[in-house]
């Protein structure tokens, strides 16, 4: 019985497990939305394969979703807040600032998956630009949401 409780506690309290679940669920939902994303990627064994792996559409989207979790979570939590004060507190605790570069650093520091830096390092220029563009749009939506609450 204690082993089961410990395992359950580990799943609930270890954010790396959450990140892995989000990553794998992203693959699942992508496969339902886009039948062409059903290709199976095996774990890379060398640097050249790493680049190909992380830059594939399947992996790029799953890694992006994990990386962007603080932004996505902020939008969901603020929307679900019971009142304006709760929403403002959620926003202030998020670490998301009105400076995009600071927010990028926060996202990198908060990343719980140890391979996130490997992902970022191996993105090709096109996907790196796409990542920044997607993050910026999401960050802008967060800032607009926070500002609308303050009004």
On whether residue 144 sits in a domain, the answer given is yes
> Using 50, 70 and 90 to split pLDDT, how confident is the model at 141?
very high
> Does residue 42 sit in helix, strand or coil?
coil
Count the domains in the chain: 1
Q: What is the pLDDT of residues 91-117, one digit of tens each?
A: 888 888 899 999 988 888 776 555 788
pLDDT by residue (tens digit) across 28-81? 888 888 776 555 666 677 777 888 888 988 889 998 998 898 899 889 998 888
Predicted pLDDT of residue 137? 97
pLDDT value at residue 80 = 87
Give the domain extent around 70: 16-150
* Pairwise CA distance, residues 28 & 33, whole Å: 9
Could you give the CA distance from residue 139 to residue 145 in angstroms, rounded to a whole number? 10
6 belongs to a structural domain: no
Instruction: At 61, list the tokens.
Output: 């989207």
- Whether residue 20 lies inside any domain: the answer is yes
5 occurs within a structural domain:
no
Residue 41 falls inside a structural domain: yes
């Amino acid at each position: 019985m204690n082993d089961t409780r410990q395992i359950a506690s580990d799943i609930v309290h270890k954010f790396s497990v959450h990140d892995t679940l989000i990553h794998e669920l992203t693959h699942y939902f992508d496969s339902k939305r886009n039948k062409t994303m059903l290709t199976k990627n095996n774990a890379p064994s060398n640097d050249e394969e790493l680049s190909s792996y992380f830059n594939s559409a399947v992996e790029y989207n799953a890694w992006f979703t994990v990386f962007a979790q603080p932004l996505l979570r902020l939008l969901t939590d603020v929307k679900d807040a019971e009142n304006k004060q709760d929403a403002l507190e959620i926003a202030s605790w998020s670490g998301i600032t009105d400076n995009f570069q600071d927010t990028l650093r926060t996202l990198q520091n908060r990343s719980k998956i140890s391979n996130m830096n490997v992902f970022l390092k191996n993105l090709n220029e096109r996907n790196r630009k796409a990542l920044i563009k997607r993050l910026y749009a999401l960050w802008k939506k967060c800032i607009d949401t926070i500002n609308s609450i303050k009004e």
